């Protein structure tokens, strides 16, 4: 079929069907009758609530760093990048940045993305030898006509941009990998599944929202494997009119439901950040009998600064920095049996 016709037909059938499906489940949830492209009602915004920084897991120092950067007047994106850099540089964190666990062949490769309040975004995937990949993703956004750079291309770009080349495999990670190789079984374990990505969302003093997401991906992944974290819409999504969302957990499952985009779209339809995170988890568990074997967790924030979070299994927490208070909050979960 001629390409143009195919696209036209697809928009009348496939895409139409896809929209129909999401609308009907949205209706069940909200009893709203139409797709909202603008926020349903203008959210009452109290600027004195800002700034706010939230992030996945108990990354206390990273979240505090972002909160302090926001208080010092930095914009939401720069604060988020400064915040996640704390974990990228933390050698003890085996799931983000330098010190991250390698793939099955011993290569540490990192993925990251950023999205700003104008809706611009940048991403890098499968990058070896450079620690601050969220900052690199921002460079892709600002300095190239592209959104995503992968592998060698991203590494060459990092060099040109003046990023410092480093060996990302620490002695501890190498030893753990050598130990793993003795009986190389790929078996993620819930909550310690060796994948605690940092996804961070910030609202600055002006009320603008941006985010960053950075990871070394699943430990002992196949060479070349990329998960949800650097995929805009899956690991992270921000719409400055509505809010933002970020994900952590089994990337393959998050990608199948484009979870972060879904959460922002649900919030656009008037749903709270908490309900939106719950619905995004429901989409996964309702279609996947294997949910008992993996963790997925989402965090979200709306334009008014209300936050939400939800996960499949107990054990996930999030951080929230507001009014100079950096708080760790346990997150409600689906699997209560
Ligand atoms: N979502 C990440 C990935 O699949 C891992 C994680 O969040 O822990 O690469």
Q: 197, 95 in Cβ contact below 8 A?
A: yes
Q: 113, 246 in Cβ contact below 8 A?
A: no
pLDDT at 13: 36
Q: What span, in angstroms and rounded, lies between the C-alpha atoms of 302 and 304?
A: 5
pLDDT at 25: 47
Closest C-alpha residue for ligand 1 atom 8: 195
Give yes or no for residue 215 CB within 6 A of ligand 1. Answer: yes
- Inter-helix orientation angle 133-143/76-88, to 10°: 140
Q: 110, 214 in Cβ contact below 8 A?
A: yes
Q: What's the chain look like in SS3?
A: CCHHHHHHHHHHCHHHHHHHHHHHHHHHHHCCCCCCCCCCCCCCCCHHHCCEEEEECCCHHHHHHHHHHHHCCCCHHHHHHHHHHHHHCCCCCCCCCCCCCCCCCCCCCEEEEEECCCCCEEEEEEECCCCCHHHHHHHHHHHCCCCEEEHHHHHHHHHHCCCCCCCCCCHHHHHHHHHHHHCCCCCCCCCCCCCCCEEEEEECCCCCEEEEEEECCCCCCCCCCCCCCCCECCCEEEECCCEEEEEEECHHHHHHHCHHHHHHHHHHCCCCHHHHHHHHHHHHHCCCHHHHHCCEEEEEEECCCCEEEEECCCCCEEEEEECCEEEEEECCECCCC
C-alpha of residue 248 to centroid of ligand 1, in Å: 5
- Atom number, ligand 1, closest to the C-alpha of residue 56: 7
- Atom number, ligand 1, closest to the C-alpha of residue 235: 1
Residue from 186, 218, 260, 309 whose mutation best tests the ligand 1 pocket (most atoms within 8 A of CB): 218
pLDDT at 24: 44
Give yes or no for residue 199 CB within 6 A of ligand 1. Answer: no
Residue from 113, 214, 215, 315 whose mutation best tests the ligand 1 pocket (most atoms within 8 A of CB): 215
- Atom number, ligand 1, closest to the C-alpha of residue 250: 4
pLDDT at 1: 39
Closest C-alpha residue for ligand 1 atom 9: 217
C-alpha of residue 193 to centroid of ligand 1, in Å: 9
Closest C-alpha residue for ligand 1 atom 4: 251
Q: What span, in angstroms and rounded, lies between the C-alpha atoms of 270 and 57?
A: 26
197 labelled catalytic: yes
Give yes or no for residue 227 CB within 6 A of ligand 1. Answer: yes
Give yes or no for residue 99 CB within 6 A of ligand 1. Answer: no
Query: Over its length of 337 residues, how does the chain's per-residue pLDDT go in tens digits?
Result: 344 443 334 333 333 334 334 444 444 555 555 666 666 667 788 888 999 999 999 999 999 999 999 999 999 999 999 999 999 999 999 999 999 999 999 999 999 999 999 999 999 999 999 999 999 999 999 999 999 999 999 999 999 999 999 999 999 999 999 999 988 776 655 544 445 899 999 999 999 999 999 999 999 999 999 999 999 999 999 999 999 999 999 999 999 999 999 999 999 999 999 999 999 999 999 989 899 999 999 999 999 999 999 999 999 999 999 999 999 999 999 999 7
Q: 289, 236 in Cβ contact below 8 A?
A: no
pLDDT at 94: 93
Please name every residue paired with 52 in a beta bridge, in sequence order, or none if there are none: 203, 322
- Catalytic: which of 131, 197, 214, 248? 197
pLDDT at 28: 56
Give yes or no for residue 283 CB within 6 A of ligand 1. Answer: no
Q: How are strands ordered across the β-sheet holding 148-150? A: 148-150, 121-127, 110-115, 209-215, 198-203, 52-56, 317-322, 325-330
Q: What span, in angstroms and rounded, lies between the C-alpha atoms of 174 and 94?
A: 11
Give yes or no for residue 208 CB within 6 A of ligand 1. Answer: no
Candidates 251, 221, 224; CA nearest to 128 is 224
Give yes or no for residue 100 CB within 6 A of ligand 1. Answer: no
pLDDT at 183: 83
Query: Terminal CA-to-CA distance of the chain, rounded, Å?
Result: 51
Residue from 96, 235, 245, 316 whose mutation best tests the ligand 1 pocket (most atoms within 8 A of CB): 235
Give yes or no for residue 253 CB within 6 A of ligand 1. Answer: no
Residue from 95, 110, 126, 228 whose mutation best tests the ligand 1 pocket (most atoms within 8 A of CB): 228
- Atom number, ligand 1, closest to the C-alpha of residue 226: 9
């Amino acid at each position: 079929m001629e390409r143009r016709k195919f696209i036209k037909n697809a928009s009348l059938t496939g895409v139409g069907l896809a929209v129909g499906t999401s609308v009907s489940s949205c209706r069940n949830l909200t009893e709203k009758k139409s797709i909202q492209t603008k926020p349903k009602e203008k959210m009452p915004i109290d600027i004195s609530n800002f700034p706010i920084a939230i992030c996945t897991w108990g990354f206390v120092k990273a979240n505090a760093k972002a909160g302090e950067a926001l208080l010092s007047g930095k914009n939401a994106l720069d604060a988020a990048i400064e915040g996640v850099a704390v974990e990228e540089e933390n050698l003890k964190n085996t799931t983000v940045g330098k010190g991250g666990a390698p793939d099955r062949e011993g290569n540490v490769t990192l993925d990251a993305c950023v999205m700003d309040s104008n809706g611009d975004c940048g991403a890098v995937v499968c990058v070896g030898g450079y620690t601050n990949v969220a900052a690199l993703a921002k460079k892709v956004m600002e300095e190239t006509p592209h959104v995503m750079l992968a592998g060698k291309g991203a590494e060459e770009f990092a060099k040109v941009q003046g990023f410092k080349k480093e060996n990302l495999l620490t002695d501890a990670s190498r030893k753990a990998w050598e130990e793993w190789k003795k009986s190389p079984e790929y078996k993620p374990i819930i909550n310690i599944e060796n994948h605690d990505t940092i996804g961070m969302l910030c609202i600055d003093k002006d009320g603008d929202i941006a985010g960053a997401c950075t990871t070394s991906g699943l430990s002992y992944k196949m060479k070349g494997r990329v998960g949800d974290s650097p995929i805009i819409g899956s690991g992270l999504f921000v719409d400055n009119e509505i809010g933002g969302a970020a994900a952590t957990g089994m990337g393959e499952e998050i990608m199948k439901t484009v979870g972060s985009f879904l959460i922002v779209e649900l919030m656009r339809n008037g749903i709270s950040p908490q309900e939106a995170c719950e619905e995004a988890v429901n989409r996964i568990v309702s279609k996947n009998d294997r949910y008992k074997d993996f963790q997925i967790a989402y965090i979200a924030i709306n334009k008014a600064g209300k936050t939400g979070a939800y996960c499949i299994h107990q054990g996930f927490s999030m951080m929230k920095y507001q009014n100079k208070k950096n708080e760790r909050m346990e997150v409600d979960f689906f699997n209560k049996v």
